Amino acid sequence: MAICADFVLLGRAWASGLAAGDEAGVTAAIDLIRAELRISMGLTGVTDIAMLKEAGRSIIDRMEES
């Protein structure tokens, strides 16, 4: 999203969750992705998606410098 993407696909995470544990597995996979996103956003100082869109490419450039 920081480089002007309109959306992001999660690939096969839900399918792996489904294979591992039916509906509970899918829920667990989505919860894991949500937790990882929150951690990643927190590490960059972003508190919500709107802020990420606003920051744009500069947030990626800042991370590459460190």
Q: What is the pLDDT of residue 47?
A: 81
Residue 7 lies in a domain: no
* DSSP states along 2-65: TTS-S----TTHHHHHHHHHHHHHHHHHHHHHHHHHHHHHHHHT--SHHHHHHHTHHHHHHHHH
Residue 2 lies in a domain: no
Residue 4 lies in a domain: no
Residue 5 lies in a domain: no
Higher per-residue pLDDT: 53 or 11: 11
Residue 1 lies in a domain: no
Residue 23 lies in a domain: yes
Q: What is the pLDDT of residue 66?
A: 58
For the record, the structure tokens of 17 come out as: 């969750």
Question: What are 6-32's pLDDT values in tens digits?
Answer: 777 777 888 888 999 889 999 999 999
If one counts the domains in the chain, the total is 1
Q: What is the pLDDT of residue 35?
A: 94
Higher per-residue pLDDT: 47 or 56: 47
Structural domain containing residue 23: 13-65
Question: What are 33-49's pLDDT values in tens digits?
Answer: 999 988 988 887 888 87
